[in-house]
Amino acid sequence: MAAWVNLLLLSASGPVKTPVGACATAVESVEVGVETIQSGKARIVLVGGYDDMHEEGSYEFGNMKATSNAEDELLRGRTPREMSRPATTTRSGFMESYGSGMEILMSAQVALEMGVPIYGIVALTNTATDKEGRSVPAPGQGILTTAREVPGKLPSPLLDINYRRRQLDLRRQQIKQWVEQEYEYLHHELDTLKQTQQLAVTEDEYLAERTRHIDHEAKRQEKEALNAWGNFFYKRDPRIAPLRGALASFGLTIDDVGVASFHGTSTKANDKNESEVLNKQFAHLGRTPGNACPSVFQKYLTGHPKGAAAAWMLNGVLQILETGIIPGNRNADNIDKQLETYEYVLYPSRSIHTDGVRAGLLKSFGFGQKGGELLAIHPDYLFGALDESSYNAYCAKNQAREARAYRYWHDAMTGVSPLFHAKTAPPYSDELESAVYLNPLARANYNDKQQTYLFESAKVIELPVDTQVTQQLLEQMTRSAQGQGDNQGVGVDVELVSAINLDNATFLERNFTGAELEYCRSRPDPQASLAGRWSAKESVIKAVSSFRGDGPPVWTRGAAAPLCDIEILPSESGAPLVVLHGEAKAAAAKAGVQSLKVSISHSGQYSVALTIAS
């Protein structure tokens, strides 16, 4: 209905959002699902489309001359398998079909945590209207807006993934400084509350709550930074087309689009219009001449459903990404001569076995002058961003999930257990219903007896907060304020756990000793353990440097100097112990430092270290 309002009353062209879009319904469903996940309203979404075929609808499609006429086709000697001939000279309309097509969407983080099979990355979805019109089946070119941009004389530096990485590193440094400052402000906040008698909880409770807030805010800021310099950098930037920006998010260009899945209904108007749209997009975005993109017209085989159309096409694109095989249009016995003018589009009649397809572009057009587009990227671009330990952990989860799924399917097929388990009750009791609704942190636990997930309680379960460093920092600042810390140097350092790259062998060898690496790799979370050691080393430098007060600097090496001379080892009690070597030992002796005491705390997103030099 929304498309009809635009068709008859608005005559708008460009981005649009409606829940149903005729033959483009499934791609609109994907767009709604993507935005639902990105907005935080859901973590997993089922999308797609379905329909049935009715006599009335089929009759009206025939009246529109949109479908092929079986009697005419038989008179021409065409068998039913040849009656859908997209892109050919003799095409005469689509063959109707019906069914359903579904996809499961989730964020990359959730997919990795669950160990689910990942078939592709939805890098971009767009829907668009096609101005006014009186012909319902006539296609339009509103989807061209995914290539809209007004480029400058030079390419935007935002398109350079190395530039964006540099900006992300700078932003992480700012977040680190913010966390350090917040820890320092805690002393003043606590003193003010005490003096005004407004401290309504104990000091320990106050510190735990504020530490938890700092951790939560640091996570939020890093997520914003990842969005700003990651997948959202091109949003609302007229210099960068949405399609170009989505590709650049993964270090790709328009030349890396290896396949285009056509709506390809086998009507005279659609196949020509769709080819023209794709060709214009490639030309506008600067695809290299001669780099023709293979097209896929799978409706030669499946016919044309309505609600399920784009879902079937997306599943086909995901199969292409997985296998590297681009299926040909087997009914393309004579490609329309008009299509020869589109230099960037290749119309194969046989399958092409490639060495891999990086990205695939899908278009879907719906009656009512509206269309949609989707860009799918090979999942290797996700796996390539993981460190080795994260990838191995995902593979282990994936194999275990596959084994459980196989067992479930096998038991269902052999009658051991039913395939479908109908729910007979909600996962919470009547007494817990309201509490579960009102508590965003309520979580269900698996019940072995009932073999389902149940809410046994709606209490908020907070993770324990390590406030050791916070306590020591406040005590040290209090002593300094009372004049008791004049002969001490204090160093505080915060490091984001995500900033430690476990796969960077050069970084690890330059900054950690063999004993440190052996210890950290034996811990449950090696990355967090290394981040703690790294922050401890930095805090040692700050403590030694501050010990001399206004005297000449004793630490003269630059910020990029290796830190192997500062070794953080576990003592017999498990507490961190500072051992200095080489130039670091000489710098401490020059400053007059006789003792270094370090404490390390982990607060989820980051590690905090406090060193006191005396």
Q: Are residues 413 and 350 located together in one domain of the fold?
A: no
**Percent of the chain predicted with pLDDT > 90:** 35
Q: How far apart are CA 561 and CA 556, in angstroms?
A: 10
Which one is predicted more confidently, 443 or 258? 258
Q: Is the pLDDT of residue 592 over 70?
A: yes
**Does the residue 188 lie in any domain?**
no
- Parallel, antiparallel, or unpaired for β 293-296 and 345-346? parallel
Q: Are residues 456 and 480 located together in one domain of the fold?
A: no
Q: How far apart are CA 536 and CA 599, in angstroms?
A: 8
Average pLDDT over the chain, rounded to an integer: 85
DSSP, residue by residue, 419-465: S-----S-SS-TTTHHHHHH-TT---EEETTTTEEE-S-----PPP-
- Using an 8 Å Cβ cutoff, are 245 and 170 in contact? no
CA pseudo-torsion sign 210, 212, 216, 222: positive
Q: Is the pLDDT of residue 243 over 60?
A: yes
**Does the residue 379 lie in any domain?**
yes
The secondary structure element, H or E, covering residue 612 is strand 606-613
Q: Are residues 448 and 400 located together in one domain of the fold?
A: no
Q: What is the pLDDT of residue 411?
A: 93
The residues annotated as belonging to the active site are: 23, 263, 304
**Does the residue 316 lie in any domain?**
yes
Q: How far apart are CA 611 and CA 614, in angstroms?
A: 10
What confidence tens digit (pLDDT) does each residue in 421-435 have?
787 888 888 888 888
Q: Region 82-103: what's the mean pLDDT?
A: 87
The total number of structural domains that make up the chain: 4
CA 517 from centre of chain:
30
Q: What are phi and psi of 461, to 5 degrees?
A: -105, 105
Q: Which two tokens stand for residue 87?
A: 């892109």
Q: Whole-angstrom distance between the N-terminal and C-terminal Cα of the chain? A: 76
**Does the residue 213 lie in any domain?**
no
Q: Region 551-574: what's the mean pLDDT?
A: 76
Q: Which two tokens stand for residue 54?
A: 């009715």
Other CB atoms within a 10 A radius of the CB of residue 294 amount to: 20
What confidence tens digit (pLDDT) does each residue in 106-125 have?
999 999 999 999 999 999 99
**Does the residue 189 lie in any domain?**
no
Q: Are residues 427 and 482 located together in one domain of the fold?
A: no
Beta bridge partners of 389: none
**Does the residue 210 lie in any domain?**
no
**Does the residue 190 lie in any domain?**
no
- Parallel, antiparallel, or unpaired for β 359-366 and 370-377? antiparallel
- Parallel, antiparallel, or unpaired for β 257-261 and 359-366? parallel
Q: Region 89-101: what's the mean pLDDT?
A: 86
What confidence tens digit (pLDDT) does each residue in 13-54 have?
455 556 666 777 888 889 999 999 999 888 999 999 888 877
Q: What is the pLDDT of residue 180?
A: 81
Which one is predicted more confidently, 335 or 70? 335
- Using an 8 Å Cβ cutoff, are 483 and 533 in contact? no
Q: Are residues 572 and 448 located together in one domain of the fold?
A: no
Among the listed residues 358, 261, 354, the one whose alpha carbon sits nearest the alpha carbon of residue 311: 261
Q: What is the pLDDT of residue 614?
A: 82
Other CB atoms within a 10 A radius of the CB of residue 446 amount to: 9
- Confidence label for 467 from pLDDT (cuts 50, 70 and 90): low
Q: Region 284-294: what's the mean pLDDT?
A: 96
Q: How far apart are CA 537 and CA 515, in angstroms?
A: 15
Q: Which two tokens stand for residue 22?
A: 């005729």
Burial class (CB in 10 A: 0-12, 13-18, 19+), 358: buried
What confidence tens digit (pLDDT) does each residue in 367-379 have?
666 788 999 999 9
Which long-range CB contacts under 8 A does 287-293 form with residues at least 24 apart?
287/254, 287/255, 287/257, 287/344, 288/255, 289/343, 291/255, 291/344, 292/343, 292/344, 292/345, 292/346, 293/257, 293/258, 293/259, 293/260, 293/344, 293/345, 293/346, 293/361
Q: Are residues 307 and 326 located together in one domain of the fold?
A: yes
Q: Is the pLDDT of residue 341 over 90?
A: yes
Q: What is the pLDDT of residue 319?
A: 97
Torsion of CA 506, 507, 511, 512, to 10 degrees: -80
Q: Are residues 364 and 433 located together in one domain of the fold?
A: no
Listed range (186-195, 474-483, 506-515) with the worst mean pLDDT: 474-483
Q: Are residues 17 and 134 located together in one domain of the fold?
A: yes
Q: How far apart are CA 614 and CA 214, in angstroms?
A: 29
Q: What is the pLDDT of residue 74?
A: 87
Q: Is the pLDDT of residue 7 over 60?
A: no
- Using an 8 Å Cβ cutoff, are 507 and 574 in contact? no
What confidence tens digit (pLDDT) does each residue in 163-209 have?
999 999 999 889 988 888 888 787 778 888 888 888 888 887 888 88
What confidence tens digit (pLDDT) does each residue in 217-240 have?
988 999 999 999 999 999 999 999
Q: What is the pLDDT of residue 539?
A: 85
- Give the domain extent around 43: 2-149+241-383
Which one is predicted more confidently, 84 or 399? 399
Q: Region 246-250: what's the mean pLDDT?
A: 96
Q: Are residues 531 and 609 located together in one domain of the fold?
A: yes
Beta bridge partners of 46: 104
What confidence tens digit (pLDDT) does each residue in 393-448 have?
999 999 999 999 999 999 999 999 888 878 788 888 888 888 888 888 888 888 88
DSSP, residue by residue, 457-480: -----PPP---HHHHHHHHHHHHH
* DSSP, res 599: E
**Does the residue 117 lie in any domain?**
yes
Q: Are residues 279 and 360 located together in one domain of the fold?
A: yes
Q: What is the pLDDT of residue 548?
A: 67
Domain end, chosen from 363, 383, 403, is at: 383
Return the ∠ at Cα 298 (arms to 295 and 33), rounded to 5°.
90
CA pseudo-torsion sign 275, 279, 280, 281: positive
* DSSP, res 95: P
Listed range (311-315, 519-523, 556-560) with the worst mean pLDDT: 556-560
Q: Are residues 267 and 119 located together in one domain of the fold?
A: yes
Q: What is the pLDDT of residue 481?
A: 47
- Confidence label for 387 from pLDDT (cuts 50, 70 and 90): confident
Q: How far apart are CA 368 and CA 138, in angstroms?
A: 8
CATH code for position 111: 3.40.47.10
Q: Are residues 402 and 286 located together in one domain of the fold?
A: no
Q: Is the pLDDT of residue 476 over 60?
A: no
